[in-house]
Structure 1
């Protein structure tokens, strides 16, 4: 497998953390879908499905707020963590570094100044992007299976590539575009499965697969804009450390959900109780009337909390390539677990195998192949060297070294994370050979401030 990161290689503890992160990430997607399918009695006395996407979005942000507690512990006890530099105290304060700068000698370096107050308010912007992306994906999840939802989240890589190449003017290499092209093919295949499996029509349950696919892809587009802004924030002279960035996005997302979106959705007309878009009082009633619903939401919250923490540890103990591998495994584990639930636990939840599942399986294979091509030359990737299974394509990898910690920023997986709902924003997919060269040149000149499009590693949720 990939080379080691900050640890001493791939030992038992590293494998355990990786497996636990995979379980938590899989749990994020599955519990989210199960919540939407569970039933309870509402304030109107009727039994109905718990289709409350805004409430789930709020729960996701509350789960992210817990990262502030982790951030405080890291600073207080000087815990080694990616993106933090515990140096000598300056004015009785301990600072922290930009993401990607932590190393074994950090404790002997001068500590940086704490973040200015304005930075905490600036982080409301990526939080709004995350909020919009999450809401779109949650609405889309109402209409498609969770396995399709998880694969469609991979479309973020397409928008990231377009944004980097044409907007940020940071050119991608030929092999990266080929990888992106295969991802486009996978999205078409998976989207076709969702639509054709329902004959393109809304079923008796009112689901509209085409609408669901469109909403999830729109969420991936918004998520790519979030990545761009986060990358700018994390590459500034005064940059936000990862846990603080996650926590503050969660804080602002919670504030906006609770005090802006909920009142707005309660006032606007919709299909929920009382003729509103989403009635918070009905949500509370349904939660109070169902102990299983309360337990499932608690599992949903825990999976978000642990995935945020464990994904960071995967990068720290191994490297960002392993984080990409983690995210690439999620569509497989989500679909596999969904099938297991349906056939071995209960047909009330989960997903059954259909004639269209073969096409979905092909879409998954293409998705993994395209990501492996894009990730070259890192571990677990595929180089284009003219073989038949590479469609006889060749690509130039000169100047790229496998195992290079900075080059490993080329990897992608996200959905997020996205993290969308489960992306850990301590990493971004904005790293190419061009930005790598700029970053190294800036380091030689004494800092990152001359890197107009500097980056800090890469991962998709």
Structure 2
């Protein structure tokens, strides 16, 4: 289970504040997405209409991510300490700021919940200039991200944002299946148990959306909830393909710094939206003045409705800030906390959405509590339980050790195997860091080939690591 830092990192005041900031911004992303789809403004015909523009929101997401390029330049020029950047050398021509040996990366559990995870072996000793072709290569994950986000935004039109967020969390199902059958990675038995509970959560949450719709007064929307669930699940499948692709292809000798990767995916996504996606949805038949989404109508509504403009500005900011704080969460703590962050979002999104409905908007925006909401709470509990089981034996997870609430399942031998491998990896990492220190001391007799003991130390330490 890879992570940016050791699992022993403590959560102090600074770490807690960063975690809370990530929770707030992540919740704001989902709330803003749904709220913008419920706003009304003057359409191109002069009549008031609902601003349901999923492609525009996808475009806005990529514009927000593109700000990562600005942050990348700031970090490189002013040599600001940031995860994934090594300012110890000056040979990074573009400011690519390659990863140094032992540099911290970030991501989520088992390199599958965050597309920026890099294996330790891909970090090289010193900064390297990022080749030009890499900037074009980063267009590939943008295509996956574009398709996944567009599908999810389309589905969000038809379901509550809390259900949407819960269904997004089920992407672990498809990642696990692809890792096993596409990458050929062996998953442990307890992880498949976690996947099973995630499947159960999807069935319960999806059923809740359909039951809520059956009680709606809007009879003409029959079947929309099922369509929304299917679109969001399709988006989760494509998102899983993105994660697997990046884990398979993007573990290269010269990895991309995190802010540059975020920014380039945003840049390519913006270009693809403007040149490919918008022309397609314009000529695709639909309810937006004859198109699935009419960009001219979108521009007219945006330019003539200050409320939509303000909502988009907030949406733009929280998207980038969420990506920014999510990086810091894993850097300052570890990848497990990033997974915990993702698990908290459905809870905070639902609480805030209920608060908006009953307190702020008095029933205009937000989400109402229905008689099926308790079923949704049950589904949320199953999802959190399944994810915690899958993420074991990391801190904050649930180990299946044969207790009654483990349903008699005992996988302690698998947890021991994982912990032994992690201890060995930590010893290897410590040795590499010591070697970097020795190499920096060029006047020392222990440097390079002048020390006959280097290879002996390396072999003995690695031998110890494999026997733990």
- TM-score norm. by structure 1 comes to 0.82
In structure 1, the partner of 2:464 is none
CA distance in 2, matches of 1:319, 1:334: 23
Q: Which residue, 400, 408, 415 being the options, matches 2:418?
A: 400
Q: Which residue, 171, 181, 196 being the options, matches 2:211?
A: 196
Residues 136 and 71 of structure 1: CA distance in aligned 2, closer, same or farther (over 3 Å): same
In structure 1, the partner of 2:242 is 226
Contact 2:4-2:330 at 8 Å conserved across structures: no
In structure 1, the partner of 2:371 is 355
Question: In terms of mean alpha carbon deviation, does 307-316 or 144-153 score higher?
Answer: 307-316
Q: Secondary structure at the match of 2:242?
A: helix
Q: Deviations over 1:153-209 (max 9, x none)?
A: 022101111101111110100111101111111011000101122239993463600
In structure 2, the partner of 1:66 is 67
CA distance in 2, matches of 1:90, 1:3: 24
In structure 2, the partner of 1:427 is none
Q: Secondary structure at the match of 2:49?
A: strand
1:262, distance to aligned residue in structure 2 (A):
1.3
In structure 1, the partner of 2:340 is 325
Residues 173 and 51 of structure 1: CA distance in aligned 2, closer, same or farther (over 3 Å): same
CA distance in 1, matches of 2:100, 2:218: 47
Contact 1:233-1:239 at 8 Å conserved across structures: no
In structure 2, the partner of 1:122 is 137
In structure 2, the partner of 1:339 is 354
CA distance in 2, matches of 1:353, 1:25: 22
CA distance in 2, matches of 1:135, 1:222: 10
In structure 1, the partner of 2:34 is 33
Q: Of Structure 1 and Structure 2, which has the larger fraction of its residues in helix? A: 2
In structure 2, the partner of 1:162 is 177
Q: Secondary structure at the match of 1:40?
A: strand
1:216 to 2:232 alignment: yes
RMSD: 2.7
1:379 to 2:395 alignment: yes
Residues 405 and 213 of structure 1: CA distance in aligned 2, closer, same or farther (over 3 Å): farther
CA distance in 1, matches of 2:8, 2:138: 31
1:116, distance to aligned residue in structure 2 (A):
0.8
Q: Secondary structure at the match of 1:306?
A: helix
Residues 11 and 41 of structure 1: CA distance in aligned 2, closer, same or farther (over 3 Å): same
1:272 to 2:288 alignment: yes
1:138, distance to aligned residue in structure 2 (A):
0.4
CA distance in 2, matches of 1:402, 1:383: 16
Question: In terms of mean alpha carbon deviation, does 238-247 or 371-380 score higher?
Answer: 238-247
Residues 92 and 386 of structure 1: CA distance in aligned 2, closer, same or farther (over 3 Å): closer
Matched ranges for 1:42-441 at <5 A: 42-90=43-91, 96-98=97-99, 101-102=102-103, 111-199=126-214, 203-204=218-219, 206=221, 208-273=224-289, 275-346=290-361, 347-395=363-411, 396=413, 397-401=415-419
Contact 2:21-2:325 at 8 Å conserved across structures: yes
1:302, distance to aligned residue in structure 2 (A):
0.8
Q: For structure 2, list consecutive stretches of 5 or more residues without a partner in the other structure.
A: 106-123, 427-457, 460-468
In structure 1, the partner of 2:442 is none
Contact 2:69-2:264 at 8 Å conserved across structures: yes
1:7, distance to aligned residue in structure 2 (A):
11
Contact 1:85-1:102 at 8 Å conserved across structures: yes
CA distance in 2, matches of 1:309, 1:406: 31
1:93, distance to aligned residue in structure 2 (A):
7.0
Contact 1:401-1:407 at 8 Å conserved across structures: no
1:377, distance to aligned residue in structure 2 (A):
0.9
CA distance in 2, matches of 1:42, 1:351: 26
1:3, distance to aligned residue in structure 2 (A):
11
Residues 153 and 176 of structure 1: CA distance in aligned 2, closer, same or farther (over 3 Å): same
Contact 2:330-2:337 at 8 Å conserved across structures: yes
- TM-score norm. by structure 2 comes to 0.81
Q: Deviations over 1:396-452 (max 9, x none)?
A: 3122239959989xxxxxxxxxxxxxxxxxxxxxxxxxxxxxxxxxxx89xxxxxxx
